[in-house]
Amino acid sequence: MLEIKNLHAEIENEGREILRGLDLTVKPGEVHAIMGPNGAGKSTLSHVLAGKPGYRVTDGSATLDGVDILDMDPALRAANGVFLAFQYPVEIPGVANMTFLKAALNAQRKARGEGEISTPDFMRLVRAEAGKLKISQDMLKRPVNVGFSGGEKKRNEILQMAILQPKLAILDETDSGLDIDALKVVSEGVNALRAPDRAFIVITHYQRLLDHIRPDVVHVLSKGRIVKTGGPELALELEAKGYADFVDAA
């Protein structure tokens, strides 16, 4: 599904290289966890895949179902099924959460040549998904992320994912800031979306999340490269020993 080869990317203004020859292959239906020290380039990878301005790709490729996504407009990437749950979700004053969701969904449907969703269908969909994530009606009416607690923001990201039904979902530290109950709710939300034609990249610092969302593959990202790949047991090993062994290898 996702095929990243020798990806090099730098910060546009500084010319500092952050991703330095990163390779990653994710097959449909799989969940990959990416772990790694602060500043390793995990968020940068997610931004580059989602098309955030401010980065320059200097080498390598990233294809989704064989289509190069790095040259695509970010909005088109979204319509093609790329979704990023942000490490730091952004506040948009005055725009009701519901309005935002509907605008996003319809924009994607339009880009794919599908018709707009009817209001009743949309309401049903949102109610059902919000219910699963324990998101209140009130939160749906409030402006996007404004005054939301850290955990509420993260749950809201998962709600967006559930509504938009992406092919490839990248969750950047969605677990940080969640209390134990919220972690469960969010994990269940993610697990419910696991499907044979959908893949996840879960960026996290903690084994805890991986108890709830069982990954198929675990990677260690250090200094802009994948330096170690293993099964779920790798996360346990990291938890016990830290990154020291792998970071030196990079």
Partner 1 sequence: MAAVKETVDQVRAIDVDQYKYGFETDIESERARKGLGEDVVRFISAKKNEPEWMLEWRLDAYQRWLTMEEPTWARVNYPKIDFQDIYYYAAPKGTAGPKSLDEVDPELLKTYEKLGIPLREQAVLAGVEGAKVAVDAVFDSVSVVTTFREELSKHGIIFCSISEAMREHPELVKKYLGSVVPVTDNYYATLNSAVFSDGSFVWIPEGVRCPMELSTYFRINEKKTGQFERTLIIAEKGSYVSYLEGCTAPQRDENQLHAAVVELVAMEDAEIKYSTVQNWYPGDKDGKGGIYNFVTKRGDCRGDRSKISWTQVETGSAITWKYPSCILRGDDTKGEFYSIAVSNGRQQVDSGTKMIHLGKRTSSRIISKGISAGHSQNTYRGQVKVNRKAEGARSFTNCDSLLIGHDCGAHTVPYLESANPRAKVEHEATTSKISDDQLFYCISRGLGPEEAVALIVNGFVRDVLQQLPMEFAVEAQKLIGVSLEGSVG
Ligand X SMILES: Nc1ncnc2c1ncn2[C@@H]1O[C@H](COP(=O)(O)OP(=O)(O)OP(=O)(O)O)[C@@H](O)[C@H]1O
Sites of contact with ligand X (CB under 6 A): 11, 18, 36, 38-44, 54, 87
Q: Does the footprint of partner 1 cover residue 78 (CB under 8 A)?
A: yes
CB of 16 to partner 1, least distance (A): 19
CB of 38 to ligand X, least distance (A): 4
Please answer whether residues 35 and 241 qualify as being in contact, where contact means their C-beta atoms are separated by less than 8 angstroms.
no
* Site map 20..59 versus partner 1, x via CB under 8 A: ------------------------------xxxxx-----
Question: Of 41, 43, 154, 156, which one interacts with Mg ion (CB under 5 A)?
Answer: 43
Structure tokens at 24: 């990653």
3-state secondary structure of 124: helix
Helices (H) and strands (E) in the chain, counts: 10, 12
The option from ligand X, Mg ion, partner 1, none interacting with 41 (CB < 5 to 8 A, set by class) reads ligand X
The CA distance from 207 to 41, in Å, is 19
The CA distance from 143 to 226, in Å, is 38
Cβ closest to Mg ion, residue 13 vs residue 38:
38
CB of 65 to partner 1, least distance (A): 17
What is the size of the binding site for partner 1 (CB under 8 A)? 29
Please answer whether residues 250 and 39 qualify as being in contact, where contact means their C-beta atoms are separated by less than 8 angstroms.
no
- Would the CA dihedral through 221, 61, 109, 90 be positive or negative? positive
